[in-house]
Structure 1
Amino acid sequence: MSGLKKSSAQLVAEARARIQEVTTDEAMAMLDDPDVVIVDIRDIRERQKLGYIPGAVHAPRGMIEFWVDPESPYHKPVFAQEGKRYVFHCASGWRSALTVAALAGMGFEAAHMRDGFSDWVKQGGAVEKESQWG
């Protein structure tokens, strides 16, 4: 294990034990709920290649802590909406579990889609593939 004290799988398992997870079916039921903000943390190239959940906010994994923090110069107002429920997702639920665990440590309440975008597609969830990048 190259001197690592913990594997990435262990980090994900620990995160999942302390955060709220939603199933793909639950997330699909939330899609048209105006009080839910679905947040896609996948890389922009994943979104371009595979599509994205309609209406999902794109927030790159590497910037999310800064975008959520109202004291950060990188803060995004989408993360300061009162009364909203935030559901994060990635491709398979690993990155989003780590993200939501980190945000919980900051005091930001959110859930993540346990099985990610790949399960969303597998279950027939709506996907937009129109280019929003030109």
Structure 2
Amino acid sequence: MLNCHKVYRAIHQALIKALGIEMKGNQARHMNIMAGFICGIVQSGEVKLAEVASEIPKAGQEESKIMQLRRWLKNEAVDIDLYYLPYIKQILKALAKQTIVLIIDGSTTASGCVTLMVSVLYKADRKDSCVFG
């Protein structure tokens, strides 16, 4: 669990530094949850909420952590422009000198809405490939 704390702290500091502004109140709380979410994904290597929640370095029941992540994902106050776009821009900027492949996937939901997901595929070296979605 000690490693989880180090990873969380490093992720949190990097997110704040990349954003370049000081957050207070609900924005700071949302940023803490996002840092925990990223930490859980990095530590578990999974995106299943149960696996992610088990790796978040926070006191409390795992089910409570899962519910917190679900609420964060559904929260309309978690603004794309503030919580996602600054980091996506930095990732794309870092990858700009490499060949970038965009993977576009569209799917229709039961209600007839079309969901579009764009992912970036890049090759770190010949052995590894990584996907950001």
TM range (shorter): under 0.3
Q: Which has the higher helix share?
A: 2
Higher relative contact order (CA 8 A, sep 6+): 1
Choose 1 or 2 for highest CA Rg: 2
TM-score (norm 2): 0.26
